[in-house]
């Protein structure tokens, strides 16, 4: 049995990871802002100890990592509030690392960033050694957060790992539902590569890296098959019996008042290589391609029936 701390234990990823670790018999402390949420209450009933805290308030973190061996920082803030995003990713991460350094028991610390730091990179395969080239406000914040963390690793030999996580999907957060609800920002020329990871695979990666990951290392977390946006959404539309997707230019999206980071993220080409997690760690993914999920979700449902449910 190991002792874990999860910051953001009430979130989409955090709650699923907490459940997995509790089921495996580990001790889990969940750092949350809202102790009353149904999710947190459910995890507490499963045995999670709840720590009320806020990463941007260092005084709420005193002692949070005492006796803890492995730490996940799975917090994030709404993309449209960049000031808060900056506070959570840069200051918040630094505050949690400081609290963990003081405890002297932490042997692994994982921070889940995203792929905005890579920028818009065309057809190039992006490995962890590729240079970062942010091209929108969120990307610049991510680089600042990454750099602050990498400096702490270098100067203080803090055993942290940086994960650049692709777009997460799975039950309750599904691109099929998003297409049906017409909420997908289809921006750019459609030739850009999109990288994804299924939540079950992400949980496997988080579990494995805390034990076998290299302190100081960067890990891309994505499936085997980055796909051009027009092919990705084209296939979903076709399977749902819908007309092919229509993309809007970046200029049109910006002129319509869309947030530059949203436009930047939606239109960027990020062809993420997952060789480090699959080859170095020997991980085999349950969802190597989004098509496995498409088949699982849509299996046996005639497309006319789906088209009808979309129309309704
Ligand atoms: N979703 C994606 O596609 C995606 C892609 C790449 C990387 N990631 C990364 O994956 C991680 C997990 O994402 P997610 O989708 O699970 O996010 P989520 O569902 O929005 O959960 C984020 C959690 O962070 C907590 N939080 C926010 N600010 C905090 C603060 N100042 N102090 C303490 N807790 C705070 C929130 O608590 P409250 O409940 O109190 O608000 C929430 O429970 C994040 O680090 C995110 O950046 C996500």
Per-residue pLDDT tens for 274-289?
Answer: 999 999 889 999 999 9
Taking CA atoms, 132 is separated from 115, 117, 160, in Å, by: 9, 5, 19
The response to whether residue 165 sits with its C-beta less than 6 Å from ligand 1 reads yes
pLDDT of residue 88: 98
Q: Taking a C-beta distance cutoff of 8 angstroms, is the pair 99, 58 a contact?
A: yes
- The model's pTM: 0.95
Residue range 100-109: mean pLDDT, rounded: 95
Pairing, β 193-194 against β 227-228: antiparallel
Q: How far apart are CA 103 and CA 133, in angstroms?
A: 35
CATH architecture of 3-173+194-221: 3-Layer(aba) Sandwich (3.40)
Give the pLDDT band (50/70/90) at residue 311: very low
Taking each helix axis as running N to C, give the angle between helix 38-45 and helix 12-23, from 0 to 180 degrees, rounded to the nearest 10: 10
pLDDT of residue 310: 40
Per-residue pLDDT tens for 109-130?
Answer: 999 999 999 999 999 999 999 9
The response to whether residue 289 sits with its C-beta less than 6 Å from ligand 1 reads no
58, 76, 84, 163, best to mutate for ligand 1 pocket (most atoms within 8 Å of CB): 76
Q: Which atom of ligand 1 is nearest to the CA of 55?
A: 32
Taking CA atoms, 278 is separated from 174, 201, 219, 220, 222, in Å, by: 24, 11, 11, 10, 10
The 10 Å Cβ neighbour count of residue 60 is: 16
Residues of the chain with pLDDT > 90: what percent?
93
Residue partners of 308: CB distance under 8 A and separation at least 6: none
């Amino acid at each position: 049995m190991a002792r874990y701390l999860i910051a953001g234990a009430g979130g989409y990823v955090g709650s699923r990871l907490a459940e997995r670790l509790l089921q495996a018999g580990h001790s889990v402390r969940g750092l949350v802002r809202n102790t009353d949420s149904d999710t947190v209450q459910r995890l507490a009933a499963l045995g999670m100890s709840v720590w009320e805290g806020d990463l941007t308030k260092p005084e709420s973190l005193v002692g949070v990592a005492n006796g803890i061996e492995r730490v996940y920082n799975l917090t994030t803030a709404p993309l449209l509030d960049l000031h808060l995003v900056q506070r959570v990713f840069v200051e918040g991460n630094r505050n949690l690392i400081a609290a963990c350094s003081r405890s002297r028991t932490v042997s692994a610390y994982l921070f889940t960033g995203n792929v905005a730091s890579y920028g818009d990179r065309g057809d190039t395969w992006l490995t962890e050694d590729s240079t970062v080239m942010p091209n929108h406000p969120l990307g610049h914040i991510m680089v600042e957060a990454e750099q602050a963390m990498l400096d702490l690793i270098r100067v203080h030999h803090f055993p942290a790992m940086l994960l650049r996580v692709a777009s997460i999907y799975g039950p309750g957060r599904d691109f099929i539902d998003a297409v049906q609800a017409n909420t997908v920002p289809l921006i750019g020329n459609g030739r850009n590569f999109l990288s994804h990871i299924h939540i079950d695979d992400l949980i496997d990666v988080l579990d494995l890296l805390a034990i076998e990951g290299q302190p100081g290392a960067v890990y891309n977390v994505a499936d085997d098959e980055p796909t051009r946006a027009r092919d990705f959404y084209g296939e979903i539309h076709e399977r749902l019996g819908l007309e092919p997707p229509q993309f809007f230019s970046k200029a049109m999206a910006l002129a319509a008042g869309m947030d530059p980071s949203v436009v930047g993220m939606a239109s960027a080409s990020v062809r993420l290589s997952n060789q480090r997690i699959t080859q170095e760690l020997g991980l085999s993914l349950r969802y190597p391609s989004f098509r496995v999920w498409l088949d699982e979700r849509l299996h046996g449902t005639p497309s006319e029936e789906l088209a009808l449910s979309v129309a309704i």
